């Protein structure tokens, strides 16, 4: 039996945000239909998908309906309940594999997995009370980043402890919500980069050039390509991403974030088993975007070339950044992408744009 998904087949997508929306667009361009599982009605993705199942991500009846409706299922966010993905996987192929969700959902499991596969990270320790935090801070020279192990995203559930503040940690465990935590070494990084890589159902891999990312308040603001890194750093980041894809027996697109430390170390911070905000530039500067690459990978099609025809800078439009839209539309070498969200709220990703420059 051919593993190639025929045009006209239906792809299930768990999650109806902007990433699901852009996956639905890419699937449509390759001749596929999409059905989205998302509790919020009229979500960004369903404006472009063929159908929405309005239900919780872990609703067993809805999952069974999704499995019946789709030939393969994927997801647009990393906090899909593992049990839901596994339930689906017993009925229909699920890509990326649920194992990737399981590893990425817990920062300690994730960093241990990266290290076990020869990928360097910041030093870290699981910490479960103030005493653990104090001991780990001691070991890391008095500073560190305290994070919740699970359900952290966009900088939420984090506290930076700088040298000299180690004495203020009484009550730190309770202040983080009395949940399992990780303390990481505070990396003094030159910059943050990410690699958007893909692995097909036949095991072939491809990676876009790394982007240099700027975050503010834990939210991605911009991605610049090329990242201005040495060939050594670029190769190291791409190779680490490929090693991770192999180790997870992965199918689809993955986003891997790295710190490039002042001392030249390339340290993986985390990975997202999905298309990634720092890869949005690929829709403007590459022939095959990360979204099409993901659909190609999971549908068993050959991967697209991950080459780039332009240099570019992608910026997110967050909250009131929407006021910039009229001026941005006046720029000739700019691609604008809005997510169709009815309500603008502070901190909410409303869209993005990519400014294009000649390739160097
Ligand atoms: P994360 O949720 O792990 O992606 O962290 C959000 C942001 O916080 C990162 O993009 C960094 O800018 C910063 N950050 C996280 N972990 C560390 C660390 N160990 N050392 C220094 N900065 C960090």
Q: Domain spans of the chain?
A: 10-94, 123-184, 189-358
Q: How many CB atoms lie within 10 A of CB 176?
A: 18
pLDDT at 167 over 90: no
Phi-psi region of 31 (alpha: psi -120 to 50; beta: other; left: phi over 0): left
Task: Tell me the C-alpha to C-alpha distance, in Å, between residue 115 and each of 7, 128, 243, 268, 283.
Answer: 40, 21, 11, 9, 32
pLDDT per position as a tens digit, 247-296: 999 999 999 999 999 888 999 999 999 999 999 999 999 999 999 999 99
With a cut of 50, say whether residue 1 has pLDDT above it. no
Q: How many CB atoms lie within 10 A of CB 215?
A: 14
Mean pLDDT of 121-148: 95
Q: Return the ligand 1 atom nearest residue 269 CA.
A: 3
Answer whether 155 contacts ligand 1 (Cβ < 6 A): yes
pTM: 0.96
pLDDT at 262: 84
Q: Is 160's C-beta closer than 6 angstroms to any atom of ligand 1? A: no
Distance 34 CA to ligand 1 centre (A): 34
Element (H, E) at 294: helix 290-299
When pLDDT is cut at 50, 70 and 90, the band that residue 352 belongs to is very high
- With cut-offs at 50, 70 and 90, classify the pLDDT of residue 152: low
Residue with tokens 């309940």: 81
Rounded Cα distance between 348 and 327, Å, is: 20
By the 10 Å C-beta count (0-12 exposed, 13-18 middle, 19+ buried), 189 is classed as middle
Residue 180: per-residue pLDDT: 95
Is 90 exceeded by the pLDDT of residue 219?
A: yes
Measure the CA angle with vertex 215, ends 213 and 216; round to 5°.
Answer: 155
Ligand 1 center to residue 259 CA distance, Å?
8
Grade residue 143 by pLDDT with cuts at 50, 70 and 90. very high
What was the pLDDT predicted at 218? 84
pLDDT tens, 299-347?
Answer: 999 999 999 999 999 999 999 999 999 999 999 999 999 999 989 999 9
Does 216 contact ligand 1 (Cβ within 6 A)?
no
**Mean pLDDT score, 241-247:** 98
For the CA atoms of 109, 75, 59, 113, the dihedral, rounded to the nearest 10 degrees, stands at -10
Which distant-in-sequence residues (6+ apart) come within 8 Å of 336 by Cβ?
325, 328, 329, 351, 353
Helix (H, G, I), strand (E, B) or coil at 225: strand
DSSP character at residue 209: P
Q: What is the mean pLDDT of the chain?
A: 95
d(CA 267, ligand 1 centre) in Å: 11
* Residue 192 in contact with ligand 1 by CB distance below 6 A: yes
- Which residue among 217, 262, 269 is best mutated to probe the pocket of ligand 1, counting the most ligand atoms within 8 A of its Cβ? 269
DSSP state letters, 94-149: BSS-HHHHHHHTSHHHHHHHHHHTT--B--EEEE-SHHHHHHHHHHTTT-EEEEES
Pick the CATH number of 189-358 from 3.40.50.10360, 3.40.50.970, 3.40.50.1010, 3.30.470.20: 3.30.470.20
Token duo for residue 101: 């969700």
**Assigned architecture for domain 10-94:** 3-Layer(aba) Sandwich (3.40)
Per-residue pLDDT at 156 exceeds 80: no
DSSP for 5-49, please give it.
PPTT-EEEEE--SHHHHHHHHHHHHTT-EEEEE-SSTT-TGGGTS
| Residue 124 alpha carbon, nearest atom of ligand 1 | 19
**Which atom of ligand 1 is the closest one to the Cα of 153?**
2
- Those residues whose C-beta lies under 8 Å from the C-beta of residue 343, and which sit 6 or more positions away, are none
**Nearest atom within ligand 1 for CA of residue 107:** 3
Scan for tokens 């929306």, then name that residue.
21
Which residue has the least CA distance to atom 15 on ligand 1?
Answer: 145
d(CA 256, CA 272): 6
The separation between CA 160 and the C-alpha centre of its own chain, rounded to angstroms, equals 22
Give the tens place of pLDDT for each residue, 68-105.
999 999 999 999 999 999 999 999 999 999 999 999 99
Find the 32 Cα to ligand 1 centroid distance in Å: 37
Q: What is the predicted pLDDT for the residue at 187?
A: 94
Q: How far is CA 116 from CA 112, 183, 273, in A?
A: 6, 19, 18
Domain 123-184 sits in CATH 3.30.1490.20: yes
How would residue 153 be classed by pLDDT, with cut points 50, 70 and 90?
A: low
CA separation for the pair 196, 151 (Å, rounded): 22
């Amino acid at each position: 039996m051919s593993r190639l998904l025929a045009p006209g087949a239906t792809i299930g997508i768990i999650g109806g945000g902007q990433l699901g929306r852009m996956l639905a667009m890419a699937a449509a361009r390759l001749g596929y239909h999409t059905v989205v599982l998302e509790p919020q009605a009229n979500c960004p993705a369903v404006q472009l998908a063929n159908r929405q199942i309005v239900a919780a991500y872990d609703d067993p009846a809805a999952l069974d309906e999704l499995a019946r409706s789709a030939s393969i299922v994927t997801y647009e966010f990393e906090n899909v309940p593992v049990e839901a993905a596994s339930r689906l996987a017993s009925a229909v192929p699920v890509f990326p594999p649920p194992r990737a969700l399981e590893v990425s959902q817990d920062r300690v499991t994730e960093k241990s997995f990266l290290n076990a596969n020869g990928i360097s990270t910041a030093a870290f320790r699981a910490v479960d009370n103030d005493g653990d935090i104090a001991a780990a801070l001691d070991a890391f020279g008095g500073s560190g980043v305290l994070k919740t192990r699970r359900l952290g995203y966009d900088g939420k559930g984090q506290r930076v402890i700088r040298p000299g503040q180690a004495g203020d940690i009484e009550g730190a465990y309770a202040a983080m919500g009395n949940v399992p935590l990780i303390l990481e070494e505070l990396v003094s990084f030159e910059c943050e980069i990410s690699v958007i890589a893909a692995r097909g159902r036949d095991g072939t891999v491809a990676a876009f050039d790394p982007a240099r990312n700027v975050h503010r308040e834990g939210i991605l603001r911009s991605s610049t390509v090329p990242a201005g890194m040495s060939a050594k750093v670029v190769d190291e980041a791409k190779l680490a991403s490929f090693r991770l894809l192999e180790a997870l027996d992965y199918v689809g697109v993955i986003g891997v974030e790295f710190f490039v430390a002042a001392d030249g170390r390339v340290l993986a911070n985390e990975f997202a088993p999905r298309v990634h905000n720092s890869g949005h530039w690929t829709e403007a500067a590459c022939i095959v975007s990360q979204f099409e690459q993901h659909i190609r990978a999971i549908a068993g099609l050959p991967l697209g070339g991950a080459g780039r025809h332009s240099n570019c800078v992608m910026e997110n439009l967050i909250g009131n950044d929407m006021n910039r839209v009229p001026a941005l539309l006046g720029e000739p070498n700019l691609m604008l992408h809005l997510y169709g969200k009815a309500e603008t709220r502070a901190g909410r990703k409303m869209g993005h744009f990519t400014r294009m420059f000649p390739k160097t």
